[in-house]
C-alpha cells in the first residue's frame, strides 16, 4: 500500500495506487527535461503507459502562477502556497488517477524542489513540510546533481539568466550572474540536505546526457522490476554482468543465486543493451556504480 508523508487528503484511497511514481529532481539546468524527454518514449516502447507532469502544469493554478510571476509582487508565503495549490491539483487529478490506472508517472520535480525553493526564500522549513505531508511517497527520487561551476556554462550558453532562477526576488545582487550564483548555491545546499533526509538516488548530472540517460534507465528498470526473483536475464548476460560487477574484488560468483544477486546489483550501475537476434554477444555499457 502506498503511503503519504503523514496526512491523507479526503477521498484519496491509498490501497489501489498500483503504478510507479518516479521523481526526477535537480536544480535549474540539471537536465531534468532532457532526461524526461528521453525516458518517456523509452518507457512507452517497453509497453508502459506514462504520465509526465511537472510544476505549474495544473489546469487550475498554472496560468495564475505564470501571471503572478510576471509582476514583482509575489511574496514568499503566497508563492509557496500557489505552488502547493498547483501541486495538489495535479496530485489529485493527474498523479493519483494515473497511478490507480497502473501508469508510470514521471514527474519533473516534486515536493522537494518546492520545499527547497521555499526554504531558501526564508520560509519556515517545518511549516512547508507540514503542508506537503499530504504528498504520496514516490517509488524513487533521482536527484540530478550538477555543481555550480558546471551549471553556469549550461545556462549562459543556452537560454541565459532568468530573473527567478537567479533569485532576484531574494538577494540584493548587483546583477543576474551574482544572483544566480548565490541562489543556485543556496538551492544546492538545501537539495543536498533533503537528499540525505529523503534518501534520493544521486546521479552525477555533470556527465553527458546519454550517459545520464543510461544510468537512469538501469535504475528505473530495477524500480519497475520490484521483486528480485522476477529478473530473468539470459544466463550469458547474467554471467557477463556478474563478471564485471565483481571484477574489482576478483571474486567470481559461486552459485546461480549469487549470480542473480550480482546481476541485480550490476543492473543499478550498468546499461544493458541487448543486440538483435543472432548478432554479436551483448554489450554492457557504463563504468561502474556511479553516484
Report the interface residues with another protein, using CB under 8 A: 5-11, 59-61, 63-64, 67-68, 71, 73-78, 80-82, 84-85, 88-89, 92-93, 122-135, 197-198
Q: Which is nearer to another protein, 126 or 248 (CB)?
A: 126
Give the residue with the Cβ less far from another protein, 131 or 205. Answer: 131
Q: At its nearest, how many Å lie between another protein and the CB of residue 125?
A: 7
Least Å from the CB of residue 100 to another protein:
15
Q: Which residue has the cell 510544476?
A: 55
Q: How far is the CB of 63 from another protein (least distance, A)?
A: 8
Give strand pairing partners of 106.
22, 52
Whichever of 6 and 228 has its CB closer to another protein, that residue is 6
Give the separation between CA 112 and CA 133, rounded to whole angstroms.
11
**Of 65 and 267, which has the nearer Cβ to another protein?**
65
- Cβ-based burial of 98 (10 A; exposed 0-12, middle 13-18, buried ≥19): buried
Q: Which helix (H) or strand (E) holds 144?
A: strand 140-145
Q: Please write down the HEC assignment for all residues of 147-189.
A: CHHHHHHHHHCCCCCCCCCCCCCCCCCCCHHHHHHHHHHHHHH
Hey, what long-range contacts does 231-238 have (CB within 8 A, 24 or more apart)? 231/260, 231/263, 231/264, 231/267, 233/263, 233/272, 236/281, 236/282, 237/263, 237/272, 237/274, 237/282, 238/262, 238/263
Nearest to another protein of 201, 239 (CB atom): 201
Write down the least CB distance from residue 70 to another protein, Å. 10
Q: Kindly report the backbone phi and psi dihedral angles of residue 144, in degrees, each rounded to the nearest multiple of 5, phi listed first.
A: -80, 110
Give the shortest CB-260-to-another protein separation in angstroms: 32
In the complex with another protein, which residue's Cβ is closer, 126 or 226? 126
How near is the Cβ of 119 to another protein at its closest, in Å? 9
What number of other Cβ atoms are within 10 A of residue 248's Cβ? 9
Amino acid at each position: 500500500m502506498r503511503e503519504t508523508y503523514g496526512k491523507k487528503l479526503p477521498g484519496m484511497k491509498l490501497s489501489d495506487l498500483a503504478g510507479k511514481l518516479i521523481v526526477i529532481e535537480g536544480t535549474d539546468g540539471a537536465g531534468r527535461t532532457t532526461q524526461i524527454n528521453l525516458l518517456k518514449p523509452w518507457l512507452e516502447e517497453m509497453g508502459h503507459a506514462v504520465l509526465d507532469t511537472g510544476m505549474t502544469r495544473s489546469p487550475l493554478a498554472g496560468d495564475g502562477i505564470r501571471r503572478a510571476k510576471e509582476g514583482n509582487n509575489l511574496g514568499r508565503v503566497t508563492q509557496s502556497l500557489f505552488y502547493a495549490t498547483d501541486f495538489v491539483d495535479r496530485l489529485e487529478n493527474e498523479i493519483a488517477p494515473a497511478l490507480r490506472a497502473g501508469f508510470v508517472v514521471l514527474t519533473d520535480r516534486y515536493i522537494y524542489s518546492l520545499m527547497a525553493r521555499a526554504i531558501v526564500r526564508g520560509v519556515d522549513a517545518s511549516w512547508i513540510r507540514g503542508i506537503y505531508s499530504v504528498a504520496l511517497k514516490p517509488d524513487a527520487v533521482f536527484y540530478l546533481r550538477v555543481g555550480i561551476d558546471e551549471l553556469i556554462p549550461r545556462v549562459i550558453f543556452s537560454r541565459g539568466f532568468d530573473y527567478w532562477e537567479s533569485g532576484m526576488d531574494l538577494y540584493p545582487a548587483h546583477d543576474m550572474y551574482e544572483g544566480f550564483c548565490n541562489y543556485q548555491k543556496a538551492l544546492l545546499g538545501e537539495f543536498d540536505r533533503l537528499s540525505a533526509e529523503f534518501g534520493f538516488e544521486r546521479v552525477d548530472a555533470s556527465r553527458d546526457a546519454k550517459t545520464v540517460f543510461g544510468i537512469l534507465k538501469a535504475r528505473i528498470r530495477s524500480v519497475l522490476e520490484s521483486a528480485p526473483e522476477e529478473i530473468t536475464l539470459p544466463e550469458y548476460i547474467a554471467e557477463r554482468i556478474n563478471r564485471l560487477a565483481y571484477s574489482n574484488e576478483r571474486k567470481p560468483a559461486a552459485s546461480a543465486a549469487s549470480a542473480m544477486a550480482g546481476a541485480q546489483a550490476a543492473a543499478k550501475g550498468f546499461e544493458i543493451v541487448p543486440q538483435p537476434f543472432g548478432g554479436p554477444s551483448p554489450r554492457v555499457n557504463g563504468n561502474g556504480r556511479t553516484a
